[in-house]
Amino acid sequence: MTLDFGTHSSASGGVDKALERAVGVGATSCQIFAKNERQWRAKPLDPLVVERFHQERERTAIRQMVVHDSYLINLASPKEEIHEKSMVAFADELERCDTLRIQNFVTHPGAHTGSGIEEGIRKFAESLNRIHEQLPHVTAVTCLETTAGQGTTLGRTFEEIAAIIDQVEAKERMGVCLDTCHIFAAGYDVRTPDGYLTVMNQFDKVIGIDKLRVLHLNDSKMPFASNKDRHEQIGVGEIGIEAFRCIVNDIRLAGLPAILETEKDPQGEYDRKNLALLRGLVAV
């Protein structure tokens, strides 16, 4: 048993369209945006689209799904207007997960934009506590994504992720998404089997491997510890193939949705190639 390999799939034309696209490139899990990721407001999900989405889920072999949040959301923002908009948008995303019966909601832990790491973490966690209170029925787990550490973004260390979860009351509603490109850019060296083991043991010690629910598999265009987030096709970037061999054979991660967020071509060839490459690394 290995990972449940998948890809970020376009939901253009309706979220129901994303599943067939994912199947078309050979994915068995997939990630979508549940609304336009670059706009604050979005129309509610059309009930007919939702119905077709559930039918597609039955028809295709795609079982594990992930929603990625909009890039605009910043629950750690000290600016009241942005924070308020973020609260509304975040709650809306969680409701969409509920409607679509998607259990994993991946979110970036935001940016403190000058208020400081500690204050940013406090604000982020407090916001989640408020949202959890507002939405007691939602069962989707919020998965904090590890970040590359660009600018004032939070989540560049395992300690920052752990500190957020620590301050959230409903811990069962919290998980983690580990992005290989981001942790590498943030200074976690997974290029060798020894390095990989050290980093994952650190993750387990600081956060707990049982919190890990989603993987983002991306190589990196940028060098180690650059704090820059630029995804590269698997095996040809600065991380290299060995790290991915370690991940797909790590028994502790077996069964997790492992999502490609690498550049795509219109025919889906890049995704197909990356998925075949990853599956080929699994030791038999």
Using CB under 5 A, list all residues that contact Zn ion. Answer: 179, 216, 229
CB closer to Zn ion, 4 vs 179: 179
Nearest position to Zn ion, beta carbon: 216
Q: Is 112 a catalytic residue?
A: no
Q: Is 219 a catalytic residue?
A: no
Rounded to whole angstroms, what are the CA distances from 19 to 15, 59, 121, 139? 8, 10, 35, 22
User: Is residue 252 within 8 Å of residue 219, measured between CB atoms?
Assistant: no
Catalytic residue chosen out of the listed positions 182, 188, 196, 213: 182
Q: Smallest distance from the beta carbon of 134 to Zn ion, in angstroms?
A: 26
Q: Smallest distance from the beta carbon of 231 to Zn ion, in angstroms?
A: 6
CA dihedral 123, 171, 31, 201 (to 10 degrees): 100
Q: Smallest distance from the beta carbon of 31 to Zn ion, in angstroms?
A: 9
Q: Smallest distance from the beta carbon of 132 to Zn ion, in angstroms?
A: 23
Q: Smallest distance from the beta carbon of 86 to Zn ion, in angstroms?
A: 19
Stretch (H or E) spanning 257: strand 257-260
Q: What is the DSSP letter of 134?
A: H
Q: Is 8 a catalytic residue?
A: no
CB closer to Zn ion, 179 vs 271: 179
Strand partners, 4: 257
Stretch (H or E) spanning 143: strand 141-145
Handedness of CA 278, 271, 49, 176 (dihedral sign): positive
Q: Is 182 a catalytic residue?
A: yes
CB closer to Zn ion, 50 vs 185: 185
Token code pair at residue 182: 């981001």
Q: Is 93 a catalytic residue?
A: no
Return d(Cα 192, Cα 282) in angstroms, integer: 16
CB closer to Zn ion, 21 vs 221: 221
Catalytic residue chosen out of the listed positions 8, 156, 231, 245: 231
Q: Is 229 a catalytic residue?
A: yes
Q: Is 137 a catalytic residue?
A: no
Catalytic residue chosen out of the listed positions 108, 132, 156, 173: 108
Catalytic residue chosen out of the listed positions 145, 160, 219, 271: 145
Q: Is 261 a catalytic residue?
A: yes
Place of tokens 């899990």: 29
Stretch (H or E) spanning 176: strand 174-179
Catalytic residue chosen out of the listed positions 37, 92, 242, 261: 261
Active site residues: 38, 68, 71, 108, 145, 179, 182, 216, 229, 231, 261
